[in-house]
Structure 1
Amino acid sequence: MQQLRVTRARRVALIGLAGALAVSISACADSKREEGAGGGSGGSMVFGAAGNPKTFDPLFNDDGETFRIIRQMMDTLIMNKPGTADLEPGLAEKWEGSNEGKTWTFTLKKGVKFHDGTPFNAEAVCFNFNRMFNMKGAAAQSQMIYYGDVFEGFAKNEGDAAGAPVFKDCQAKDESTAILNLNKAKGAFPAAFTLPSFSIQSPDALKKYNADNVTQSGDSFSYPEYALKHPTGTGPFKFESWDQAKGEITLSKATDSPTQTAKLDKLVFKVIPDENARKQALKAGDIQGYDYPSPADYGLLRNDGEQVLIRPSFNILYLGINQANNPKLKDPKVRQALAYGLNRDQFVKSKLPEGAETATQFVPKAIDGYNENVTKYPYDLNRAKQLLKEAGAEGMTLKFYYPTEVTRPYMPNPADIFTSLSEDMKAMGIKVEPIAKPWNGGYKDDVQKAGKQDVHLLGWTGDYNDAGNFVGTFFGREKAEFGFNNPELFAALAAADAAPAGEAHTKAYQEANQKIMEYLPAIPISYGPPAIVVGPKVKGLVASPLTDERFYTVTVN
């Protein structure tokens, strides 16, 4: 079998830049910077996290801060080559698509064990995929965001789940051969197999700690013991503890990791919600790195000797519009008015780092399917006011939701972004009702599950190199976040997703992107090159355009 790889000529120069961007992460967590840590391996490091984890079971997670931790503990069948969006072996040595893309055969690494000592084999692979497919309970299914986006449906859909399943069955041909059969081809594969949500976990641990017992009370979800205390994978680090009172997650070196051997003995993630506090902690040597520093701080950080590493842009920030919550937003003239009335060019120049660009659509330029000829909405305040007048929406009030306790690659400072865009809305004559909520403390549930907002800030960093991972995720079906039903658009995205890789696939997404920008279900704001910052003694971290950094390469200077 020939190993399959995803390569995109249009983005090689852009994504390939990250391959050379290796930096270090660092230093003994128990020592101040000036004391040093000594040695080139072993020891500990502390990384500043912006928010608390959601759940360590990757199947029920859609949060980047948590995925950062999960990626250190768990492996997928296929992984991304460090510093790129290209594919390389993970737990599978080889993979092959056949039957017109409806069958995927994985040749697995031998002699691999989970952190609990149980064997990794084809039966474990099939257990994991069958677990996803056969998941019971509306609460559990509703939290499987990535499974729903990629595999679309369950053996028995409950709650809001309604799609026909892509997954058919999984066969363990022998100990080292797993065969995944699909009901239909999907252009997202094989790249989607890199998603951390599809990490292979220990069947014994999943069963022992009742991993599927997700419950819901109102807008809140509760997760079982497995997800909070016993996540069990095959990665270079293993779970040790989560001290919620101190906001510290501690991982320790997995000495028998089959995929990569960590150089650090311990890796600690310390939750520091405030970005300025993270910066001060880095300067003091209390942490050795953090993600998404404010663009305004790049120069100051470098002057202090910190290493600011800029990733290539592989993301989108958008202003979400919920048509179901406010009848006026159903009128296309109102949505167009918002698009014309937001001074996005000025926002990008004043609030985002060098290299950021105003977005014209919901996929970045590096993705095949980007369409230069989509309908565009340049800043025109007078036109915005006129459209609002024609729609009878002058003086309308919008509940504008924005998150706290988070920084994202596309959204380095949510409060600043809210202020900038809300001032533009006020200039149009719109009244703005601000509503701020913690990212993992109600914001995502209110916006994506309950649809309580009129407009909101959100965005996306690509998980793999396919336009469907952007526009299909956003607009491929009815979602509470956007509150619209457009069968024509859904059908166009479904056809693009099923189109064979290559020119047909690209053209189908270009056409779908044109339809999206005509309908305007939300407003694309910007593409931003995010940064990650580490101390001067840090070595070995490879920055990823997918924010898929792995810490097993880190050493202490």
Structure 2
Amino acid sequence: MPSQPHSPEPPRATRRAFLAGGLGLTALALAGCDSKDTPVPSSPTASAGPVIRTFHFGSAADPATLDPAISGDNETFRITRQLYEGLIGVDRETGAPIPLLATDWIVSPDRLQYTFILRRGVKFHDGTDFDAQAVVTNFEHWIALPSDVRANSDQGFTQVFRHSEQIPTLPKSIPEPKPKPTKEGDGNETVDPQQLIDHAAEVELLESLREQLKANPFVGVTSGGTASYFGSIKAADTHTVVLTLRQPISGLIEALTLPGLTLASPKALATPAAENGQVSYLSTQPVGTGPFAFVSWKDGAITLRSFPEYWDAATVQGNPTAPTLVVFREIRTPSGRLGSLDRGDIDGFDLVAVTGLRELVREGKLIVQRDPYSVSYLGMNQKNKWLAKEEFRRAIAHGIDRQKIIEQFYISGTKEARGFLPASLGIKSSDTYYGPDSNRAKDLLESIGYDGTPIPFLYPLNISRAYLPLPELIYAELSRQLALVGINLAPMPMDWNDGYVATVRSGDVPGLHLLGFNGGYRDPDDFMGALFSSNNRQFGYDSPILSAQVLLARSMPPGEQRVTAYQDLSNTLAKDLPALPLAFPISALAFNDTVKHYPSSPVLDEVFTDVKMTT
């Protein structure tokens, strides 16, 4: 159905924001400590006026790149959200999509065509006008990226449009369960009645998926895979863009708020890479339309300054204590960030560790807490001989006490994950649950004759993430728990900045691994599509049935049928167990009394024009 009409130029809504509907902000404001002197920059901006306010932020890692279209890195997105904007924003109070660079949008009755009316009078930081051709140029740039580069994106064109994917080929049949010797040892064989029930359900699901794929074909030509949702993007006039899909995407408007779908200057896109080995000029010289412009990246620090020609003057004027300069500095350890805050070297930092939270509270720092919208998980790559066995994966699941891990390493309020979808999405978790049961784990290992072969276990060093606040300690506890049930591990620690994520995703080290995913918009496909949309090498898991379930569910209109589809999908994952979800973490930031307010967001959509500093 067509979208609700918008006024041609609606009043300014509160700028980009976090999800509502159960994802509200929890903040603990405590008495501040002595403020530090704010250094004066050598070249103040025209918009700063007589007062220069510099916001020093401690980052857990340097960004992998400053081009959000080719990144899956939250440290990249934290910075690029200040520099770039997309067509759609999110209202802080309601969670509803709101106009940003598009002032209005119309959806065709078949949900395949989206017409966007663009905001006038917007300029990129290099002076280039923002118009319809700029939007088209960005889409053309994303499509033209090499597939291996495009695959690096977690929250952009690849995730939303699945441009390189193929329609899954479903199996002709589901093998019947094999009879096993009876417990009496009388030479007879029998099939577990529950296995027969499960087999019948699998057959029914297969036939249903086959009929649905036939009834919902992709339409039109494609320049990508057979399951690409992208049809075309055209400029109807200077300020109107028409996006055509090959199959509906129910969460498309929400997905267009993702940081990887923000828009860059066409002039910058056409400029050769500034450094050898870089994929794009934007990797080190970002150029967007956002409220801050890039200044420099050197000596482990990235500096931004307010953009004097920013189109939304009301946002800037409405917060007279917003920072005029922002400096991101890499501080890789939780203790290092804590010490820098205590010394006044930084004004705030993200990813407060539970080990430092008590000290921060005692010292009267401002603690801002995010509601959970990420999931941590233990990946099990089925290319490994033992992990290929269903019984072995279940033994691992029964050997782990997730609640103990949460109590030791996560902030209070973190919940055990019994699926991959946060509770706020309203999708019931599977009834299949692998609770801690050491005896069951040992029985499963014995049933398959596990011989003690060490299982490679990749885990990251020198990093904190919302989903992995203390990865080295989490690994140590998992290792201890699995050793108690008889599973031997071969630890494979790897520095995060040495390509940890790329190594995990390549599947080149089949075994166990620690990773997670932070949601970017309010739709279950954000999680399921990103993690399980097709053959994913990090899990060594190729399930045409699951791929078909993901493909069909994301196109269903909102309603009971779609909810049921995602519940069925959760059941498939619980049965196949390519990964064990561990936790839906609470994360937190800490600030000195130089900061009065910080715009916390579960999806990390935190734009610093909303930061309020002391004058």
TM-score (norm 1): 0.89
Give the Cα separation in 2 of the matches to 1:58 and 1:413: 26
**Match among 229, 232, 253 for residue 287 of structure 2:** 232
**Match among 593, 597, 603 for residue 540 of structure 1:** 597
Q: How many residues align?
A: 529
**Which residue pairs with 2:556 in the alignment?**
499
**Which residue pairs with 1:322 in the alignment?**
381
**Which residue pairs with 2:68 in the alignment?**
58
The amino acid of 1:289's aligned partner reads G
- Range with greater deviation from structure 2 (547-556 or 300-309): 547-556
- Range with greater deviation from structure 2 (82-91 or 536-545): 82-91
Deviation at 1:187, TM superposition (A): 2.2
Deviation at 1:21, TM superposition (A): 9.1
Give the Cα separation in 2 of the matches to 1:284 and 1:40: 27
**Which residue pairs with 1:250 in the alignment?**
303
In the alignment, is the contact (CA less than 8 A) between 2:378 and 2:582 conserved in 1? yes
- Range with greater deviation from structure 2 (516-525 or 79-88): 79-88
**Which residue pairs with 2:81 in the alignment?**
71
**Which residue pairs with 1:512 in the alignment?**
569
In the alignment, is the contact (CA less than 8 A) between 1:96 and 1:105 conserved in 2? yes
The amino acid of 1:2's aligned partner reads Q
**Which residue pairs with 2:169 in the alignment?**
none
**Match among 256, 259, 262 for residue 199 of structure 1:** 262
Q: Is residue 2:408 matched to residue 1:350?
A: yes
Q: Deviations over 1:13-41 (max 9, x none)?
A: 5213459999999976538xxxxxxx996
In the alignment, is the contact (CA less than 8 A) between 1:92 and 1:108 conserved in 2? yes
Give the Cα separation in 1 of the matches to 2:606 and 2:529: 25
Change (3 A) 1:312 1:231: same
In the alignment, is the contact (CA less than 8 A) between 1:316 and 1:525 conserved in 2? yes
Q: Secondary structure of the equivalent of 2:425?
A: coil
**Which residue pairs with 2:519 in the alignment?**
462
In the alignment, is the contact (CA less than 8 A) between 2:54 and 2:324 conserved in 1? yes
Correspondences of 1:85-100 after superposition (within 5 Å): 85-100=95-110
Identity of aligned residues (%): 32
In the alignment, is the contact (CA less than 8 A) between 1:133 and 1:154 conserved in 2? no
Change (3 A) 1:362 1:236: same
Q: Is residue 2:23 matched to residue 1:15?
A: yes
**Match among 265, 268, 289 for residue 327 of structure 2:** 268
Give the Cα separation in 1 of the matches to 2:366 and 2:251: 35
Deviation at 1:372, TM superposition (A): 4.0
Change (3 A) 1:58 1:413: same
Q: Is residue 2:369 matched to residue 1:367?
A: no
The answer for unaligned runs of 5 or more in structure 1 is 6-10, 32-38, 216-221
**Match among 421, 434, 445 for residue 491 of structure 2:** 434
**Which residue pairs with 1:219 in the alignment?**
none
Give the Cα separation in 2 of the matches to 1:163 and 1:361: 29
- Range with greater deviation from structure 2 (285-294 or 471-480): 471-480
Give the Cα separation in 1 of the matches to 2:89 and 2:26: 16
Q: Secondary structure of the equivalent of 1:281?
A: helix
Give the Cα separation in 1 of the matches to 2:50 and 2:590: 20
Q: Deviations over 1:50-96 (max 9, x none)?
A: 11111111111100011100101000111222377432221111223
Change (3 A) 1:225 1:126: closer
- Range with greater deviation from structure 2 (105-114 or 290-299): 290-299
Deviation at 1:451, TM superposition (A): 3.2
The amino acid of 1:67's aligned partner reads F
Q: Secondary structure of the equivalent of 2:372?
A: coil
Q: Secondary structure of the equivalent of 1:169?
A: strand
**Match among 261, 282, 296 for residue 241 of structure 1:** 296
Change (3 A) 1:390 1:84: farther
The amino acid of 2:611's aligned partner reads V
In the alignment, is the contact (CA less than 8 A) between 1:95 and 1:105 conserved in 2? yes
In the alignment, is the contact (CA less than 8 A) between 1:296 and 1:353 conserved in 2? no
Change (3 A) 1:102 1:80: same
In the alignment, is the contact (CA less than 8 A) between 1:18 and 1:542 conserved in 2? no
**Which residue pairs with 1:8 in the alignment?**
none
Give the Cα separation in 2 of the matches to 1:312 and 1:295: 15
The amino acid of 1:253's aligned partner reads S
Give the Cα separation in 2 of the matches to 1:13 and 1:189: 18
Q: Secondary structure of the equivalent of 2:497?
A: helix
In the alignment, is the contact (CA less than 8 A) between 1:320 and 1:481 conserved in 2? yes
The amino acid of 1:165's aligned partner reads S
In the alignment, is the contact (CA less than 8 A) between 2:25 and 2:600 conserved in 1? no
**Which residue pairs with 2:462 in the alignment?**
405
**Which residue pairs with 1:101 in the alignment?**
111
In the alignment, is the contact (CA less than 8 A) between 1:361 and 1:374 conserved in 2? no
In the alignment, is the contact (CA less than 8 A) between 2:21 and 2:95 conserved in 1? no
Q: Deviations over 1:358-415 (max 9, x none)?
A: 11111111113x2244311111011011111112224131111111222111111111
Deviation at 1:453, TM superposition (A): 4.1
The amino acid of 1:438's aligned partner reads D
- Range with greater deviation from structure 2 (126-135 or 49-58): 126-135
TM-score (norm 2): 0.81
The answer for unaligned runs of 5 or more in structure 2 is 7-12, 14-18, 41-48, 167-223
In the alignment, is the contact (CA less than 8 A) between 2:289 and 2:310 conserved in 1? yes
Give the Cα separation in 1 of the matches to 2:51 and 2:228: 46
Deviation at 1:436, TM superposition (A): 1.6
Deviation at 1:277, TM superposition (A): 0.7
Q: Secondary structure of the equivalent of 1:101?
A: coil
Q: Is residue 2:156 matched to residue 1:140?
A: no
The amino acid of 2:437's aligned partner reads D
Give the Cα separation in 2 of the matches to 1:423 and 1:478: 31
Q: Secondary structure of the equivalent of 2:481?
A: helix
In the alignment, is the contact (CA less than 8 A) between 1:18 and 1:545 conserved in 2? no
Change (3 A) 1:306 1:21: closer
**Which residue pairs with 2:229 in the alignment?**
166
Change (3 A) 1:551 1:24: farther
Deviation at 1:252, TM superposition (A): 1.1
Change (3 A) 1:295 1:96: farther
**Which residue pairs with 1:522 in the alignment?**
579
**Which residue pairs with 1:35 in the alignment?**
none
Deviation at 1:154, TM superposition (A): 5.0
The amino acid of 2:347's aligned partner reads Q
Deviation at 1:474, TM superposition (A): 1.1
- Range with greater deviation from structure 2 (66-75 or 399-408): 399-408
Q: Deviations over 1:266-288 (max 9, x none)?
A: 10000011110110000100001
Give the Cα separation in 1 of the matches to 2:453 and 2:579: 18
Q: Secondary structure of the equivalent of 1:197?
A: coil
Q: Secondary structure of the equivalent of 1:366?
A: helix
**Which residue pairs with 1:335 in the alignment?**
393
Over aligned residues, Cα RMSD in angstroms?
A: 2.8
In the alignment, is the contact (CA less than 8 A) between 2:553 and 2:562 conserved in 1? yes
Q: Deviations over 1:318-354 (max 9, x none)?
A: 0011112x12111111111111110112211222111
Q: Is residue 2:342 matched to residue 1:283?
A: yes
Change (3 A) 1:84 1:404: farther
Deviation at 1:440, TM superposition (A): 2.8
